Structure 1
Amino acid sequence: MSLPLEDIKVLDFCQVFAGPATTMHLADQGAQVIKIETPEGDNSRNFVPFPGSNDLSRGFVALNRNKRTIALDLTKPEGLEIAYKLVKWADIVVCNLRPSVPERLKISYEYLKLINPKIIYAGISAYGEKGPDATLPGYDLIAQAKSGITTTRRNADGTPIGSFIYYADMAVAMLGAYAIMVALHERNTTGVGQKIELNLLHNYLALQAVQMVKTENDNPTDQGRVLTALATSYMASDGKYIHVHSASGRQWVNLCKALDLEHLIDDPQFDTHQKRGENAESLFQVIAAVINTKPAKEWESILKENNSPTSVIQEWQEVWIDDQVVANDMIISYEQPGVGVVQSVNTPFKLSNSNTNNRVYRAAPHFGQHNEEILIEFGYSPNEIDKFKSLGVIKDSIE
């Protein structure tokens, strides 16, 4: 079966998470992706390495399936010449190096559009390409801090803590794939390429869109820190936690019935949404005492029977075998050379006319795995390839 983007060609100048995830989303739909790595390799190759492997890790394998790779030294004229040849071939370039680096390496949009005027160039940065922090190094956790989202998660002593789930990296990747599709559609009309700018900071603001609404006479609300008894977690009798969420009057009634607290439905302290918020501390104590009388799974069944939104808080090991996850093919398994069978997250959407259940047609590549294959494909002779090796233009092992 053909794949939706199999005629689209992508060049990946990316490291770590946001950029590689963007190109993986395109590759999963059939796009031909060639990843250009530096002689040091993508930094994510060191993110939780697999035992016995010097170039494969969980971080790299998670976001680089369905790609080919070539390891080029772009500081050498021959390496840059090869890269430019690939640019002529490509429809799309994705780059998440610091804004100053593509300019220094001569792979910025201003350089590449002269080589291929139809190129669509997605540039991903930490904080945006203008302003005092534009050229600074940045990571998801730093963007979290700058965006204000870190203040919504605190230790017991009130210290703000970041999340090691890199939300903006993943959000940029999905938004980046969307923006690329928009630019491709426009190019089909105009025949002209363009540059797309994305950054982690802006995506963290977008993830807080509801909280970050400000009018002339007020400030963004601090909803993330307001204790609510009806959208939080409770410890059950077995020590496991269960999350409840009651967002409407009907759901409040359903929750009370499930917990055998029907006398609270019309209690003057709790008979409106506003009062339930104002008296959240006392309501929390009442609900906590009830939920602590039964195991979490039992409460989950009772709440579901009463149409009250809920879930036991699962460990990752439990997620792999969760009935809902399995039923919807959210996890895929495939053979990763040098590692064995790998399970990872499937493409998070399905197309009814396309095979979405088996999106891994190429395992994540070893460093420099496709050097010779790609060079031969682009017209270089064996003698030229040997010369590139001797000059250090291409690499087959990480420096």
Structure 2
Amino acid sequence: MSDITDATTASERTPGALHGLRVLDLSRVVAGPLCASMLGDLGADVIKVEGPRNPDETRSWFPPEIGDMGVYFATVNRSKRAITVDLKTPEGVAVIRDLVRTSDIVIENFTTGTLERLGLGYETLRQLNPRIILCSITGFGQTGPSREQGGYDFIAQAMTGFVSMNGAPGDEGTKAPIALADLQAGLHATISLLAAVQARERTGEGQHCDISLLDSMAFSLLNLGTTYLNTGVVPPRYGNQHQTLVPYQSFETADGDVIVAVGNDGQFARFCEVLDCSELATDERYRDASSRIQNREALIAVLQERLRVWSSSHLLERLRAARVPCGPVNSVAQLFDEPQVAARGIVVEVEGAASPDLKLLAAPFGLRGTPAEISAGPPRFSEHTDAVLEELGYSPARIDRLRTAGVIAAK
């Protein structure tokens, strides 16, 4: 487990790839904050804006919580500074406009049209700062008949057919246990923003990125969606089996379950050799991928019978030695006991407002020259308001007036 609080101080760390960029994060809940936190991990200065009387609701999504902070909030709001501004007041809008003048990116996930009604639409922002890049993340996007509807992760999973395909055959369809549509949208937003920053280097102009949960989740269907579009065949529910590869699924062993993922004929031949049934690899019913798909049920029955006598650990050891892709079916607890997880530094311990030794998951960017890192734990509500306003040139008296008027949160 790596630790950002050890011997290396902030001033000694290698500047991140996005060092020098400022991101104004007006978003809440998951997709937008996730995007902003990843930009922060990459070195950007991220300023999270919350209302003085309506903080990001995930701060209080209990249980589970860490200290007085919801786990959801802690997960996607690291590497940020937090301020409060009331966007429903003229004074608050003026503060945001001042921040836009000094920022490179604005991220928001209001329902479509809200930013315009606040006087902060893209055309207004680009007049303040022609280089500004606005990223809008919504349930359904900025165009189309559903553009003004609110949307959550589960809705996107259900509408795109994912829920109908997910689960065991014969059981009800089920959503993913993680916020998969939010995660996809956050990743697509991050990629779009990096592309927009690069384009700005060439043109000198910012642009408006339009990201939706529905689009992102639909794109994640990849081969399944493309199969339907070109064949008209609706994908059935396969459970832990694969649509086009056999065997590629979970199998029972004498003491648990394992995953065997055979991706080509060579791997299948080596798999059969380990199980002492090499004749299956030359059997015309199973010798190539297409044949194995057509005779899936018969093959799986034979393999399952042989695998039940193996212990999971012995089987995995033999398969790995034979270069057959495989792995255990871990619990989350077992995942974090894996030596490979420790070796890759996936878990990072940070000092944060929620806990002195908060453990978070590192973003897996893998940049060697400009490594990504969690620069700070999730901030307390309004923790950096005064410091950020002072950077804008606001005097202590002006900050006090904003606080008295309720434009920013009380101390």
Same fold, judged at TM 0.5 (above): yes
Find the aligned partners of 1:106 and 1:235 in 2 and give their Cα distance: 60
TM-score (norm: length of structure 1):
0.92
Find the aligned partners of 1:185 and 1:312 in 2 and give their Cα distance: 41
> Is the counterpart of residue 122 in structure 1 residue 146 in structure 2?
no
Find the aligned partners of 2:383 and 2:38 in 1 and give their Cα distance: 21
The structure whose RCO (Cα within 8 Å, separation 6+) is larger is 2
Whether contact under 8 Å (1:211, 1:220) holds in the other structure is no
Deviation by residue 1:354-385 (Cα, 9 ceiling, x = unmatched): 244xx122211011111111122222222222
Whether contact under 8 Å (2:140, 2:213) holds in the other structure is yes
User: 1:201-220, aligned counterparts within 5 Å?
Assistant: 201-213=214-226, 218-219=231-232
| CA spacing shift, 1:380–1:69, aligned 2, 3 Å | same
2:289 is matched with which residue: 273, 276, 279?
273
Residue identity opposite 1:14 in structure 2: S
Residue identity opposite 1:140 in structure 2: D
| CA spacing shift, 1:287–1:114, aligned 2, 3 Å | same
Shift of 1:223: 6.7
Over aligned residues, Cα RMSD in angstroms? 2.1
Judge which range, 359-368 or 374-383, deviates more: 374-383
Shift of 1:349: 1.8
> Is the counterpart of residue 353 in structure 1 residue 369 in structure 2?
yes
Judge which range, 109-118 or 214-223, deviates more: 214-223
Deviation by residue 1:233-266 (Cα, 9 ceiling, x = unmatched): 012211x211111121111101111222223222
2:167 is matched with which residue: 154, 171, 193?
154
Whether contact under 8 Å (2:167, 2:237) holds in the other structure is no
Judge which range, 222-231 or 287-296, deviates more: 222-231
Deviation by residue 1:138-166 (Cα, 9 ceiling, x = unmatched): 11111111111112213564321111222
Judge which range, 168-177 or 249-258, deviates more: 168-177
Question: 2:397 maps to which residue?
Answer: 383
Find the aligned partners of 2:357 and 2:99 in 1 and give their Cα distance: 32
Judge which range, 246-255 or 264-273, deviates more: 264-273
1:41 is matched with which residue: 55, 61, 83?
55
2:198 is matched with which residue: 155, 168, 185?
185
| CA spacing shift, 1:216–1:32, aligned 2, 3 Å | closer
Shift of 1:197: 0.9
Mind listing any 5+ residue stretches in structure 2 that lack a counterpart? 1-13
Shift of 1:32: 0.8
User: 1:295-334, aligned counterparts within 5 Å?
Assistant: 295-334=311-350
Whether contact under 8 Å (1:141, 1:164) holds in the other structure is no
> Is the counterpart of residue 286 in structure 1 residue 286 in structure 2?
no
Find the aligned partners of 1:375 and 1:199 in 2 and give their Cα distance: 32
Question: 2:254 maps to which residue?
Answer: 237
Find the aligned partners of 2:66 and 2:286 in 1 and give their Cα distance: 59
Residue identity opposite 2:96 in structure 1: A
Q: Number of residues paired by the alignment?
A: 393
Find the aligned partners of 2:261 and 2:293 in 1 and give their Cα distance: 13
Find the aligned partners of 2:230 and 2:353 in 1 and give their Cα distance: 60
| CA spacing shift, 1:215–1:355, aligned 2, 3 Å | closer
Judge which range, 317-326 or 156-165, deviates more: 156-165
Shift of 1:267: 2.5
2:275 is matched with which residue: 248, 252, 259?
259
Deviation by residue 1:64-100 (Cα, 9 ceiling, x = unmatched): 1111011111111111111111111111111122213
Find the aligned partners of 1:215 and 1:303 in 2 and give their Cα distance: 35
Question: 1:342 maps to which residue?
Answer: 358
